[in-house]
Amino acid sequence: MPINELRSIATFAKAAELGSLRQAAAAQGMTPQAASQALAQLEQHLGVRLFHRTTRSLSLTDEGRQFLEAAQPALVGMQRALHMARQAKDEIAGPLRIVGPHSVFAPVLWPVLDEFCRLHPEVQPDVQLDDRIGNWVEDRVDVGFRVGPSPAEGVIARKLFPLQLIICGAPAYLARHGAPDNLDALAAHRCSVFRRPRNGTLMPWYVKVEDSIVEHHVVPALCVNDEPLETEAVLAGHVLGLLTNVAAAPHIRAGRLVPLLTRHVADRSSTFIYYGSRTAQPMRVRAFIDLALKRLVNNPAYVLTAKELQAAEAKGRKAARS
């Protein structure tokens, strides 16, 4: 039978400390029979006798005393390491590695991160926003965000809120160029197109037609690979843009942007938070996940209802005609 060296040595040391194999077994949550077997296996493995045993007493042999003196520092170090690991698991302190998409999630993540840092100043967040899809394990990620659930095995994904793609224009643009009445009319308008950062290809506009999400290609008057920059170009009245609800919602509600062709808003995708098994997570990771879920799940600040979109479009078109 193979020997569990660490368990056997720990049993030996505890028996030497307490002077009783039965008490050592109880202290380690073992049966007396299991403790006796562990000690016998250790003696057989080492080829020496470690204890003088009688029915009433237990004392170390010379070899046992020498072995204990050599093994005890390592056992103390192991016990200290175990204690520190358990303590770190229960403290809200230490490093916290967070990843997410740069083009969509920065304005969503910051309020949560700001609040978390105020609540738990002993945590050191390490945030990497990147539109590439990395390896969750190799990148040592504690918590991740992305559009769509994570493809990594063994990762838990929780839906936060829908990601809407909304055609938008500034009132100044509509006053100069008018508003398109249908998708085909976009061919006569100046439109921005997003360039994928990871491979440089141009993204089509994704729009809803009846019950399907389809690709609609526009001629680019402006190409960018950064959503905040694209949003600024649309706000300035240079182009129409297909913006996410994260970028567009506050501007639509403030009247700085007008949603257009709102019956074609694509809303099949969602943003997700993903993480590993909660049972093995340090307290700092669990605390951040709990706060993110509390602040972001179906947060109305990032989601525009169909009624709200339609009303904003009607108001914007009316203002452009007057």
Phi then psi for 197, rounded to 5 degrees? -65, -35
Tokens representing residue 78 in the block: 């192991």
Residue 259 reports pLDDT greater than 70: yes
Q: Where are the beta strands (DSSP E) in the chain?
A: 51-53, 58-60, 94-100, 123-129, 143-147, 156-169, 191-194, 205-209, 212-216, 220-224, 241-244, 258-260, 266-275
Q: Is 60 helix (H, G, I), strand (E, B) or coil?
A: strand
Question: Under a CB-based contact definition with an 8 Å cutoff, are residues 171 and 319 in contact?
Answer: yes
Phi then psi for 93, rounded to 5 degrees? -160, 160
pLDDT, position 135: 55
Mean pLDDT across 4-11: 80
pLDDT, position 69: 83
pLDDT, position 1: 40
Q: Is 272 helix (H, G, I), strand (E, B) or coil?
A: strand
pLDDT in tens, 60-116: 888 888 888 888 887 777 767 665 555 555 568 889 999 988 877 888 999 999 999
Residue 257 reports pLDDT greater than 90: yes
Higher per-residue confidence, 144 vs 132:
144
Higher per-residue confidence, 266 vs 45:
266
pLDDT in tens, 151-173: 667 788 899 999 999 999 999 99
pLDDT, position 86: 58
The amino acid sitting at 321 is R
Q: What is the mean pLDDT of the chain?
A: 87
Q: Which residues contact 219 (CB under 8 A, 6 or more apart)?
A: 187, 191
Distance CA 77, CA 180 (A): 72
Residue 271 reports pLDDT greater than 80: yes
Model confidence, pTM: 0.70
Mean pLDDT across 260-279: 89
Domains (ranges, CATH) in the chain? 5-90 (1.10.10.10), 100-322 (3.40.190.290)
Helical (H) or strand (E) element with 76 = helix 62-90
Residue 243 reports pLDDT greater than 90: yes
Angle at 4 between CA 51 and CA 7, to 5 degrees: 60
pLDDT, position 139: 62
The amino acid sitting at 168 is C
Q: Which residues contact 185 (CB under 8 A, 6 or more apart)?
A: none
Residue 2 reports pLDDT greater than 60: no
Residue 118 reports pLDDT greater than 50: yes
